[in-house]
Amino acid sequence: MSLRYRRLIRLLVATILTMTALPAPSRATERSEVPVALTWDLTSLFASDDAWTAARKDLEARVPTLARFKGHLGDSPDTLYAALILQSNLRRSLERLSTYASQLADQDQRVARHIEMRQASQQLQVQMGTVASYIQPELLALGEAKLRALIVNQKRFDPYRPGLDDVLRYAPHTNSAAEERIAAQAGRMAGAGFTVRGLLNNAEMQWPTVTLPSGKSVTLDDAAYTSFRQSADRADRDSVFHAFFRQHQRFQGTYGAALDAAVQAHIFDRDVHSFKTCLEQAMYGDNIPTTVYTHLLQDVHENLPTLHRYLKLRQRMMGLSDLRYEDLYAPIVSKVDLRFTPEQAMEIVLDTVKPLGQSYVDTLKHGFASRWIDWLPSTGKASGAYSTGAYGVHPYQLQNFTGRYDEVSTLAHESGHSMHTYLSDSHQPYPTHGYATFVAEVASTLNENLLFHRMLDKTTDKQTRLYLLGSYLDNLRTTLFRQTLFAEFELKIHDMAEHGESLSGEALSREYLKLVRQYYGHDAGVCKVDDLYGVEWSYIPHFYYDFYVYQYATSIIASTALAKGVREDASSGGKSTAHRDAYLNMLQSGSSKYPVDLLKGAGVDMTTSAPFLAAMKEMNSVMDEMEKLLR
């Protein structure tokens, strides 16, 4: 909705068959060893790096032309329209350049040329923001009456009306054109902390190689840690956790300096634009009340007994005398070890999303066949998973797939993002094609919910049902409770910085340890958290995204309610599609409305505790079923 340029940051059958997975490699795989079919095809963005360079030079030449409208936006409707459409076209070109460069860099962050391309696109973004910095102050100077008179009864302005409404809403937080120009130029420094953290973590860190008690030797980069922390062998888990986080602890000073740089950039922007807190500023862009954030923290704290009930159930099912932090990712049912190939994962996800309609299924199937996805972990590749895209092309996904069930869930998750992007781009003009994270994570977690129920409905084996139920609970733990823990930590460190307190690596680890012990019931004997794991914050890149993570929690709360309605429609045999249609309409709406209003239109009011309490009810009902099976 805001005119500010934001990069949208931006995942069984009745008898379970034995499935072959891609084995976790004993050494890191080089990208040249990955089959081409399992890599993404970036030629839809640019045919070559040379084509990208030519487009960059062309855009560099076009950006200064936006300045010709300075001082003339109020001259006539034609002049205003020409300025808006030029700005929109420039942004669209930059989005395509940035997407290509970022994806190249994420393939292998050791390649200096690709890092330079990403940096060049970031510099161009700053240049564009600087040139365009006069637009918002000048529109405000016209006054609301004159601005509305310029666009009244003219349909050509319809795509721009939401953005113009936002300009007026931002009036108390907009400076003079000269001041906004300086603020835009300062954007060159805003991403420094994230860049430093990425280079350290993904390119220059010397990850430890450990020989596990089971005899297996592994190099513990992010992908290997994610894989081996799930080992059924407790001694292996202990070795993996200790070696991985000891290495992080050695560099917590550098990680801390990088995160402090990001927080200081947020504080600078807060002060320049006259917000009371960094939280207020971060949520203002999408017009979300800060009470949604603080109320989430309150709801979670009041329901920590539900989390602790699950943790005690996990301990019981794993047959442990005590539960430790190292045990939280291990299989809850040790005899069920589901493994999948990418092809099998795609088949399952396509079957999962059938309740969303044949068009949804066909589009996603086409994407799978057209190399929208970069599948496998490799040396230098960015960790984690994401979906991205550029308007007028199609979505892309980065995965680090090793074959586990939770990575099938990640595929469903990121495919939700990809289809959200596809549907929004297909139904919205460029100015309103983007969507807020607050609704973005609804699309992803709803697919995870559908996957869980699809797997459960087709599974009769007791152990596998227990495994699936446990996986669903653990998804709630990691997406609702853990992400809220992250959100509370993020709020805490911003509050510390806003009050002049140090954000050294040691201080960050100290504060993080307090929270993680509170959430996991360390003092109550629910789950023991070793002092070392206070440094876990350094492993989480999302802390650089400016109050991003809370939306994972709010989204899984919303999607739990929406998925229930979609499943009810599917079970009606076609008699009702109201819930599905309302949900798909939300996906198609982009940013034509504010996210809280989009969710209300789909049937969920996130300004109340009702959706949260409904999610807790479902969580407890799943535990009831597990305890019944165990009896």
CB 492 within 8 A of CB 501: no
CB 55 within 8 A of CB 93: yes
Please give the Cα distance from 285 to 9 (Å, whole number). Answer: 14
Q: DSSP string covering 64-76, please?
A: GGGGGGTT-TTS-
Please give the Cα distance from 78 to 84 (Å, whole number). Answer: 10
Residue 180 annotated as catalytic? no
Please give the Cα distance from 563 to 128 (Å, whole number). Answer: 40
Please give the Cα distance from 96 to 43 (Å, whole number). Answer: 12
**Residues whose CB falls within 8 Å of the CB of residue 624, separated by 6 or more in sequence, listed in order:** none
- The SS3 call for residue 391 is coil
CB count within 10 Å of CB 65 equals 11
Closest CA to 602 of 566, 550, 553: 566
Please give the Cα distance from 557 to 551 (Å, whole number). Answer: 10
**Residues whose CB falls within 8 Å of the CB of residue 115, separated by 6 or more in sequence, listed in order:** 105, 109, 199
**Residues whose CB falls within 8 Å of the CB of residue 116, separated by 6 or more in sequence, listed in order:** none
Residue matched to tokens 């559908």: 450
Please give the Cα distance from 46 to 248 (Å, whole number). Answer: 37
Please give the Cα distance from 596 to 435 (Å, whole number). Answer: 12
CB 4 within 8 A of CB 436: no
CB count within 10 Å of CB 27 equals 11
Closest CA to 253 of 465, 11, 600, 505: 505
State whether the Cα torsion 362-367-370-371 is positive or negative: negative
Please give the Cα distance from 42 to 47 (Å, whole number). Answer: 8
Q: Which of 407, 414, 441, 490 is catalytic?
A: 414
Give the residue numbers annotated as catalytic, written as ranges: 414
